[in-house]
Structures are given as structure tokens and as C-alpha cells.
Structure 1
């Protein structure tokens, strides 16, 4: 399974042929459907404008994943969403607290609690304070709206590149209970259940719970366990009180506990494996004989494109807990008065997210500290390097908004917002050498905003769209590094703190025109903003303190779109073209320093741009065949970054490394640092083309049950996972095809589903990069250059089988 040399043609042809065959099989029914007015698409309701609207009436590029699509594709968590929405991608890091959600190629490529996200995640009108909280089970979810482009005017903080708006399942009027189970041949399993109904004429409730476990696809040869998996436990509740026709009160508590034994990257390539182990990290050896042979370090690991084995003697991943609650109170005004038929809504939330994270610092299970020297003296230690840390995030929000009636020449929403986030981070790396880090950091941001967004009908067909948000943000931080360790020659205690504030306004202006009841076009100009950041990571020093906060990001976006309802409401086709410029983009770029430690530094890039074309389609071909698909062409590039990071290559003499690409060595313009001008280069993890297609065909029978067949295919072009443009960090284009089917009770009591995931067994990397060259992690007695590459195999990097059973009663 070669992840770099797969034929693009084979990816596309076979799944397309299968999709065509599925459509042809129902051709006769299609002719009949043309005359059957009941064969139509269901209305899709979204809340992108903070009011319930038909998707085809909203002048925003949105991909909607409803409950049917989520179930058909066995969506478990956020990691599954990029397969269904081409605008989305996820960038993985060395621990789950640093995962990033990217929209149209733009995301949070910045580590640390002092930097906010570029893509917000909102559940039932409540935003997450930290994006890492999104990477858990999507429990009891009913609909996911992927809002593309700047959403700062309505969604506020952390929405400069887009927003993911999630709605959980509503409360049923009549009592209903459901149970769902899921099992795979590689030992992943899930079980969830819910019950919902009316307690009285005015009170209704819903309870949902779930448990899941996935051992992971990476094998730890040290203890025989699997890695890069997860296990989750979640509870959610809703209690709704409607004392009369005007008041509604909803209280929604939640709790989840989740563990990701993740972020481990097996060796995909290693040269000169016959040498001796040399961990630099501030260590020296009395002689070459004290070094450990690489063959012992590997201990049965065979580096290669199919290698999923590692040797770790310290846990990897993170254990997290999330608890919180939301209180939503609504009042509907009567038919008379100044606010006739308006709705006033108050949304109050509280949440607390905590995570303990840990990592094996030397990627081995060998006694790397034995016989090593620091300052010419033995460490008197055994074992290896390890990292452990803690996140503590508290959030409080309050939103008060007034929504006008759905009818009328002017339709609007206006409101006030308050949010306070307190984010804490402790990180320790131990026990010796320059690897050691021990710091405690805190970041606090408080936001006050007034916002409004509305549509005014100039004529019965043409409307003006306008929105504005005034936002005040107060930010503060502290940073302490108190460690004094006997294994380091000297260590100075540091304490830093700082505050800042800024006032910003964002807005939207546009025009929409309804050509006829089934076709609407729009053009919008919108701006977005992301707050100031501070690099609260292990690299924080006097220079960071003197420079203060990194300026915030600003975005200016133009989008034009068409929303079409075709074939007598049997097809919807949404098209969008866009261009968004980001000024002062906050970017963390990493490199392996001379001591062998991979470190990151926060930069404020001059400019970044994303532009492209998108299409979303749903087609009810017949009563029994439903197809959907999405396509995105995205060109996300750096337009100004003169002091970008360089990558390394082996030098001509073969004795070491030298900066590669267009690197300027010891650039006098930037403190004699090695820099590369990255203008025109693609953003990391930003494929230019992405496509996904899916569908389901119902097989009706004369028995008590019917059958169904479903299929899904996704393809993306090549992608570089590093901003320094290292050519060895490119994942070439690939496609994944899933095929499933099953039977279901005609009365809706049960459904059994089966699926072959990654039918054609195409391997690919979810992340790919170099550990380094020459004496960084591994060396030989001849000190020959060593090139080491690691990869993160995706969950479906190889074929696996799944079975699902759903019951309703």
C-alpha cells in the first residue's frame, strides 16, 4: 500500500462507474418519478442567521449534514466531517489540545492557549472556548451546518475563517426511545441510547447517553497495545418548560469524559539504520560504544510506507473531561404593540474543560539516559524522556437577541453578547538535558459585543443584506517557568504578565436577487477579525515579552453564489465563488533545533489568501434513489511571509545538512536567521481539489422489511503538511470508496446496516513530516546523514468492516 504513488485515475474511475451503475439501475423508476409530485427533496432548515430558514433562502455558502447523512456515514466525531464537507480539513499535532480545524485551507496553525481559533464550533448557540473540545464524540447530534468564510458579524469570536454550527436532537412530543450499536472487525465499538417525551402538558424532557471505544491502528510493540484510538463516555439532557404560548425555557446540561491515546507517528522512512543511537538533546557520550544500536532501538520495527508499529515506554495522548450547561429562555411577543410577533431570546452558558496530556519524548523504549553525559558528567538516570501537561478551560457566555417576524419587508436579528474565557496550561518535559521545560501559563479574554444583521426588500425579488458588529476584547496573560533542575547547568526563574485590549467592528453588505421561486443569486462582502495572540509555549522568552501581543487577524471576503431548486424540487444545487484576504495571519512554524528538539514559534504573516469555487448538490433521482455530492476548488496561499521557516536537505558532500528551497542563510534582515520567502506558496494541509459523492438506493419488498444499498466516495488532490514546503512532507492525491447496505423494518422499529470501509484498500497519511536529518535523533559511527520521516496513518488507512444496529420503540 504505497501512499505516495497511487494512480489518480483508478481513484476516480471505479467509484464513478459504481455510482453510474446505481443510477442506471433505477432509470425506469426515474421516468415514473417525473410525474410523481411526491418525489421531492425535503425542506432543509438552517439557523446560520440565528433564525430558522430554508437553506435555499440563505445567502451564505453552507454545507448541511443532516441526521440521515450522519447515520449513513457512521459519523462518530469531528475527524469524520472532512470526508463529507470538502471545505473542511483537520490538522493533527503531537497532542489533542493542538488539533486544528481548517476552513477553505485556513485554520489555527498556532499552538498555545494565548491564540484563539480561526474556525468556531458552536453547539445549540453556545460557542466552545477552546477548539480542542470539539474532538470528542458528536453525541446526540441532529444537524451540522458548515458555514464557509468569515462569520464574525453574527458568530463572533473565532469565526474569521468560518464556523461549524451544530444542533442536537429536539425533544419529541410523544415518548420515543432509541438504541444504536456499532461494531467493526478491528474492535471499534459504540453504543448509544436516548429517551424523549412529554412529562406533562407544559414540560418535556430528553436524555441521551453514549459510550464508544476504538483501540487505534498503531501497534505499540513494547506493551502489545494499540495507539491512536479513543474512548468516550457522554451524557446530555434537555428539560423544556412551556408555561404558555409566549414563554419557553430550555435547560440543557451535558457531561463527557474522553481519552485519546493518540498522536503517535510511526517511522515511515529511516536511512542508515545500521548505525548507533545518538539522542542529541544536550547529551554527549563518553564513547561510541556507549551508544545504542539503531537495530535495538527499532526492536522489530521495519520503517516503510506500511509501518504502523512503534516502541513507546510512556503513555501518549490525553484524558479529558467536559461539563457544562446552557439555559435558553424565549419570549414571543403578541400580535400587537411595537414588538408585535418579535421574539426575545436569552442564552446563558457555563462550561469547564480539562485535559491531562502526555507523550513519549524520545519515541523509544530504550534506556537512552544511561551512560549519557551532561556537562561532561553522568546523568545518573535511567529510562527516557517524557512530557506531561494539563489544560484547564472555563467559559461563561450570555447572549440576548431580538428576532423580527419571518414576514415583512425588513427581517432582522439584533443582540448583545458577553463572553469570558479563562484558559490555563501547564507543560513539563523531563528529566534531563535541554529537553527540559516546565512552565505554567494562563490566558484570559473577555468579550463585549453588540450586533445586528438584516435583510430589506427593495422589491419583491431584490433585497439588501447588511450586518454590523462592534466588539470589545480585553486580554491578559501570565507565564511562569520556575523549574531549577539538577540535570541542567543553570536555570533562571521567570515570571511574565501582560494585558491589552482592542475595539473592532466587522460587517457584511450584500445583494440578493430571486430570479424566480426556484433560483436565487447573491453577492456579499464581509469582514472578519481574530483577536490578539501571545505565544504562551515553551519558547516564550524576554523577546516575546518585550514584543507583547501579536496583532490580531483581519479578513476581507467577497462571495458570489447561486442557489437553485431544479427538476420540480427533486434537485438542489448551490454554487459559490469566493476570495478572502487575511492580513496579519497568526502562524506557528516549527523546526528541529540543534539540540534535537522540535520547537514552534508564533509569527504574524503579512498576508494569506484563499479563493476558489464550491458546489453542493442533493438529488432525489427517484422515490428510491437519493444522491448527494460536494466539490471544492480551493487555492489557499501565502501572499506575504518574507521571514518564513526553511527546511533542510542533505548537503552535496553527504556529511550533513544544508537549508533547502529558496532559503536565505543568515538573512541580515531578520537577525541573521535562516529564512525563506514563502510568498505564493500553498498553505499547509490545504488540498486544491476535494470531491465527495454519496447516495442510497431503497429496495422495496413485499416482506415486513425493505433493503437498501449505500455508497460514498471522496477524493482529494495532493497536500503538503508543512508550511516550510518540505517536499518530503507531501501526501499525494488519493480516493476512498465505502460501500454498504442492509435491511430495515417498514414500521421503523429497527435497522441493520453493514459497510466495507475503504473498499479498494488505499493507504494514506493523515499527517506526514520529517523528524530531521543528520544526528538529530539517530546517527551512525560514521556520522553519515540520517533522514527520518514519520507519518500518522488515518483511521481508514486500510480496509475494515463495520456493522450497525438501530432500534426504536
Structure 2
């Protein structure tokens, strides 16, 4: 069985294939010398040693996440140089970026470019991904197009979060964390057997954060958070060949968060007025405070149920995963980012997005034989998304505009992968997925002042699309310590609609890609060093993005954003990951990613508000061909080390840890506006932990960003109509030196 109450599966404990400490085991052939433990992943729907899988996959264990004080999925990018976070001006539109590819538009009719999964269940919207990392078994990050085995097709990659299952013996954890600026966290887990065939696991976490910045307009703290998460699992194994896992979770979050500060206001006719409005604040690259008359609010509720079944039929494994999830987000920000209201806007109701989804996956896994093995499966996904907003203005002509959109998306597919052993050293892996997409939408709006608001109206449309995505891999196991592979994968991101009335539901074709990769996975120095290298190149056609107008500008209001197929982009690079165990008490790990993402062809690209204010885009659009892909530093490096010291007079171990991460400059806007670029920076985190040698308690003191290095997670130009030549930024909490302590007890 893959999971069992009686025989737990060996999983990676305290291991990371990229940037986190691991534990050692004793080699029976060499006595006391430490070697690296096996790293177990399910990247090909089987539990396999990471070093045997011909896929670019990074692995972070739950122990690694806990010891690094990672509390939310948004922080995963701090440990993995191959993963980037695309921060956003709203919680519902944040997303991940892998190898330069991320979601460039967040219309409800657009699929995420990087798919996020929890325990084998695809999350339909990007904003659903950023859950609290409580009681996590491991996180697997698959890089590049994933079209064969992972739920819906993903053009950029997959982030798969796997939570812990029930245990055959009573166990649990309780932990409390206190961080500067009055942030407090508590989480706990209990797990164990109900009977010989039934086990349970229950996890809860709570976050209470007062906020780390201030709104000088009213003196209130901002960027606060009040959230909690509950998760439960029941594992029933009626006999040794059959098991069922029922899982449920619920999360709720209230915050005045993602308040965006003014970074700079460039010279121009409005500069003095805008600078005076911001007083007593002075725009700067480390400014976290704001001067806003409109509150920034976000309320999110999400939850789901899933039932997984595994049935061994002789030597074959039949797996079924049935799931339901929903997500409800209400959020608003101060659009003009100032203490005035130049457009006299108000919001009778906060903009809202409601999503619910059902999915079903079933697959058959063959036994591994002399000739090879295979996996065959079918997948179905259905989601409904409703967005609504109400906006009022008293400028010139009082008016209230009420808009709503409903999107229905269906995806059905069959998939398979076969692994053929050509010889003892050579393997051929062939895979493919045939997909059918169906998309429907309707949108309507009432109310208009004829000036700020587009004309009222309604629009609806539907479409369907099919695709076949093949995969070919050749793997060479040239000795017991190393293997190399070459792969070709075809990627696919489904069709979309621009659901805005001004675009009248224009159809956006699927985004397709061709990706090539060469990889090496190896172990050296008698299993004390693990080294993996991947070189990749990918081309994307009909790249889905936004621009300021389409080919029929007479049908649109000037400057209206439109969803389009931008053209072609490419991404290439090299990724290196390593783990070293020089001694039983010392681990070193890290990674280096070089990514060159280029816009090959995008003649009618979007313009930033700053470029428009400076009259650099007189036509309302620009040729972005040859530009850089945003959210993608060319160089990103991570180095982590942990050293354990056994204290002589007390039964305690002292563990000293450090995590160093460096990255090149990064452009935050597709428009290539140089003022949206963040310079390269280096961050050092340190920690010291006292842990019981025989008992499960651990006290940790940590400092994030020791050298107080300031950086922005997002920079963009405000509207030329609201704040001409003003640039807005999101400065995260850990862009300043921050200290904290944690007390944890495992039993």
C-alpha cells in the first residue's frame, strides 16, 4: 500500500533537494560515517527516490519548513531559487512564477500558469494557493510545463503541498511563536489510532498579527492579520489491500493587508502637489507606511473535502481522488494611494470573488516489472466563478455602477505514461494527455456616468477546445550513483475570454509551449554530496497577457485593458541544486538558478501609467519584442547551513543555522518601465535552537534579514489619471530586520 496504519511509508524527514537542512543516517558498510538519506517524491505518481526521477523537481520537507520559520506558502520562494513569488496589489491575484512563466492576467476566465495542488487536488484560482503551512509533510515543486500526470495542464509548473497523514501511534505537536511588532502564532496537531484499522489526524493553527506599518491618515496599524486554519483526516484500512483517506479543511482570514506605499514621484507638473499630499510621509524605497483615506481590507474564507481511495488488485494499484473546494474573497485597496479622492469614488459593497470546484481523478498504476511500468488515468474538473462589484462616483454626474460576471469552466482528460526498460542502463518514457476544455461566461453591468464608467450592457459567450500534449524522455543510468536524461514536453494552458464589457468577451486562444531539457542527477563522495543540474529551453506561443487596446480600438474606451494572445516568449537557463553532509553534525545545501526570459514577439504591448504620463506611449501601446519577462531575476542563489553541537553537561543539542539568499535585479512589470525594477539584494537569516536530546522540546530564536536590507516585493506605476508619474510598492514585513522566538514540543 502507498499509505498504511501498520507500515508507514518512509518519507523524506528534514530533507530538501534545494535549500534546506537534511538529516543523516548511518551506512552499515562504513560504520559511523554519515550519508544522505533517501529523498522520496511522488512527481510521477509513484513514491520514488528523487535521484531516480527524470523530472526537474525540488523538495522541501515539513521539518525544513518548520525550522526555517516558514509560515505561509508565499514564503516558499525564500528557500527555492527556482521559484519566484508574483506579489500583487490584491490577495486574490498573487501567484507563483517558475522559469520566468507566471500568470500575467487574472480575469476570472483565465487559468493559472503555475498550478497549485494540495494533497493531489488542483486549486482552481491562484489566490487559493497561499495557505498557512501547518503540519506539512513536504512540498514538491515541478519546474516547466506539466501536462501528463498532474491534474489540469500547467504551462509553467506545479507547486504540490502535501500534508501529513494519520499515524499508527499517538503523537502530536504544540508550538507557539512570537515575532516582533506583536505577531503571535500557535499551532497544534494530534494524531493516532481509533482502532486497528482506523486512524485520525487533527491540526489547527491561529495567527494574530497587529501589523507592521501605519496609516498616518487615521493613525491605524495596517498589514495586520487575524486568521485560523483547521484540518482533519481519517484513514481507514479495512484490509491490507484497501484504504480510504477522508480529509477536510477550513481557513478564514481577516486583514487590513497589502497596503501599498508610494515609492517615488517623478518630476512633472503634478510632482509638488502629490508630494505635499503625502506629507508627513516622504516617498522612498523603504517606505512601508501609507497616507490613505480608504481602508485596505481583505476577507477570505476557503475550505474543502476530499476522499482518496487506494485499492491493491493483485500487483496493480487503483487510485481515486474525489474532491470539492470553495473559496470566497472580498478585498479592496485605496486606488489613488493618497489622502484625497480625485475621482469621488466610493464602494457601496466590497468587490467579491466566489469560486467552487469539484474534481475527480482515477488512475491505474501497474507493478514495476523487468520490461518497465505504466500509469493510465482520467481526470475531470469543474469550477464556477462569480465576481461582483459596486462602484459609485459623485464627480460631475453622480452614478453607481454595479457589475457581475459568471464563468463556468469544465476540463476533462485522459492521460498516461509508460516507462520502458530498453536495457539495464537505458529507459524510454513516453507520456501524453488528451484534454477537452469547455468555457462559458456571462457578464453584465448597469449604471454609467458617461465619463468614468463604460456604457452599461451585457455579454455572453461559450467555447470548447481540445489538445494533445505529448512527452518523451530518454534516461541513462550510467552507474549506481548518477543518471542523465533528455526530455521534450509539450505544454498547454486552456483558452480564455476577456469578460470585460469593453472587450465584449473577446476569445483568447490556448497558450501552448514546447520545452526541452537536459538533466544530471548524481551522488558523490561516498554519498555525502548530492548534486543535480538541469539545463532548459522553452518556447511559448499565443502567450496570454494584457494590453491597452486590441486590434479594433473603435470598440473600446481609450486605455481600457484587454486580454490578448500577446505573441511569443521564450525562457532558457540552468539550475543547480546540492546537499552536502561533511559530518554527522553539519549539513550544507543550496541552489543556483540562471533564467533568461525574453519576450520574442509582442508588438502591441501594454504601457505603464508612468510611461503614459511621460508621453512615452502616444498610441496607448508599445512594441515589447525583445523585452525581459517580469518577476524573473536572471540570477538567484541560496545557501543554507546547520551545525549541531551536543552539549556535554546537559541533555541538550545546540543547532546553529543560517540561510543566505541573493538575487539579481528583477523587473516587476511587463511594460518594461525601468522605474518598476528592483535592484539585486542579499538577505541573511540566522537561528539558534536548543532541543532535547531525549525529549521532543525545542526552543528557537531567530532573526530574519540580519543586515536590514530593504527591498520591494512589487513595484508598479499608478494610473496617469490619479497620480501621474507616481510609483507604488509593496514592502513586505521581512524587508526589515525582524526577530522572533518559538517554543515547540513534539510528543
Q: Structure 1 length normalisation: TM-score?
A: 0.84
Deviation at 1:365, TM superposition (A): 3.5
- Equivalent residue of 2:111, what SS? coil
Which residue does the alignment assign to 1:428? 390
> Is 1:162 aligned with 2:153?
no
Distance 2:74 2:404 in 1: 29
Alpha-carbon contact 1:217-1:793 (below 8 Å) kept: no
Distance 1:145 1:650 in 2: 39
Q: Which has the larger radius of gyration?
A: 1
- Equivalent residue of 1:81, what SS? helix
Which residue does the alignment assign to 2:698? 751
Change (3 A) 1:33 1:580: same
Which residue does the alignment assign to 2:441? 477
> Is 1:394 aligned with 2:375?
no
Alpha-carbon contact 1:273-1:294 (below 8 Å) kept: no
Change (3 A) 1:737 1:34: farther
> Is 1:349 aligned with 2:307?
no
> Is 1:657 aligned with 2:617?
no
Distance 1:579 1:647 in 2: 29
Deviation at 1:442, TM superposition (A): 1.3
> Is 1:642 aligned with 2:588?
no
Change (3 A) 1:498 1:367: closer
What are the residue-to-residue correspondences of 1:195-234 with 2, within 5 Å?
195-234=190-229
Change (3 A) 1:697 1:597: farther
Alpha-carbon contact 1:693-1:714 (below 8 Å) kept: yes
- Gaps of at least 5 residues in structure 1 are 1-18, 23-28, 278-292, 335-340, 370-380, 666-672, 779-785
What are the residue-to-residue correspondences of 1:49-198 with 2, within 5 Å?
49-198=44-193
Which residue does the alignment assign to 1:375? none
> Is 1:769 aligned with 2:733?
no
Alpha-carbon contact 1:240-1:250 (below 8 Å) kept: yes
- Equivalent residue of 1:71, what SS? helix
Which residue does the alignment assign to 1:676? 622
Deviation at 1:787, TM superposition (A): 3.0
Distance 1:66 1:609 in 2: 31
Change (3 A) 1:110 1:276: closer
> Is 1:559 aligned with 2:517?
yes
Deviation at 1:385, TM superposition (A): 7.0
Count of residues in Structure 1 that have an aligned counterpart in Structure 2: 716
Distance 1:169 1:598 in 2: 49
- Equivalent residue of 1:312, what SS? coil
Distance 2:356 2:510 in 1: 22
Change (3 A) 1:384 1:362: farther
Which residue does the alignment assign to 1:499? 462
Distance 2:577 2:547 in 1: 34
Alpha-carbon contact 1:582-1:607 (below 8 Å) kept: yes
Provide the aligned C-alpha RMSD in A: 2.8
What are the residue-to-residue correspondences of 1:404-483 with 2, within 5 Å?
404-433=366-395, 437-483=401-447
Distance 2:491 2:534 in 1: 19
Q: Return 224-233 or 675-684, whichever deviates more.
A: 224-233
- Equivalent residue of 2:497, what SS? coil
Distance 2:220 2:96 in 1: 29
Deviation at 1:411, TM superposition (A): 1.4
Distance 1:65 1:426 in 2: 38
Q: Return 165-174 or 258-267, whichever deviates more.
A: 258-267
Deviation per residue, 1:548-581 (Å, 9 max, x gap): 3200100100011000011211211110000011
Alpha-carbon contact 2:346-2:391 (below 8 Å) kept: no
Change (3 A) 1:133 1:260: farther
Deviation at 1:306, TM superposition (A): 2.8
Alpha-carbon contact 1:98-1:112 (below 8 Å) kept: no
Which residue does the alignment assign to 1:700? 646
Which residue does the alignment assign to 1:337? none
Alpha-carbon contact 1:96-1:317 (below 8 Å) kept: no
Deviation per residue, 1:721-778 (Å, 9 max, x gap): 11111111111110100111120001242000111111111111111122256xx335
Distance 1:598 1:746 in 2: 64
Deviation per residue, 1:38-83 (Å, 9 max, x gap): 5111111101111111100100111111122211211111221111
Deviation per residue, 1:240-280 (Å, 9 max, x gap): 11011111011001111113432322112225799799xxx
What are the residue-to-residue correspondences of 1:294-309 with 2, within 5 Å?
294=274, 297-309=277-289
Change (3 A) 1:400 1:603: same
Deviation per residue, 1:691-719 (Å, 9 max, x gap): 11112110112211111100001111011
Deviation at 1:215, TM superposition (A): 3.5
Deviation at 1:168, TM superposition (A): 0.4
What are the residue-to-residue correspondences of 1:361-380 with 2, within 5 Å?
361-366=335-340
Which residue does the alignment assign to 2:296? 316
Deviation at 1:658, TM superposition (A): 1.9
Alpha-carbon contact 1:561-1:574 (below 8 Å) kept: yes
Deviation at 1:489, TM superposition (A): 9.4
Distance 2:411 2:203 in 1: 32
Deviation at 1:638, TM superposition (A): 0.6
- Gaps of at least 5 residues in structure 2 are 1-18
Q: Structure 2 length normalisation: TM-score?
A: 0.91
Alpha-carbon contact 2:559-2:620 (below 8 Å) kept: no
> Is 1:788 aligned with 2:745?
no
Which residue does the alignment assign to 1:724? 671
- Equivalent residue of 1:310, what SS? coil
Alpha-carbon contact 1:583-1:608 (below 8 Å) kept: yes
Change (3 A) 1:33 1:691: farther
Deviation per residue, 1:640-669 (Å, 9 max, x gap): 111112457799xxxx7321xxx6x4xxxx
Distance 1:363 1:598 in 2: 20
Change (3 A) 1:650 1:556: closer
Deviation at 1:384, TM superposition (A): 5.9
Distance 2:540 2:293 in 1: 43
Q: Which one of 565, 590, 593 corresponds to residue 632 of structure 1? A: 593
Distance 1:35 1:391 in 2: 59
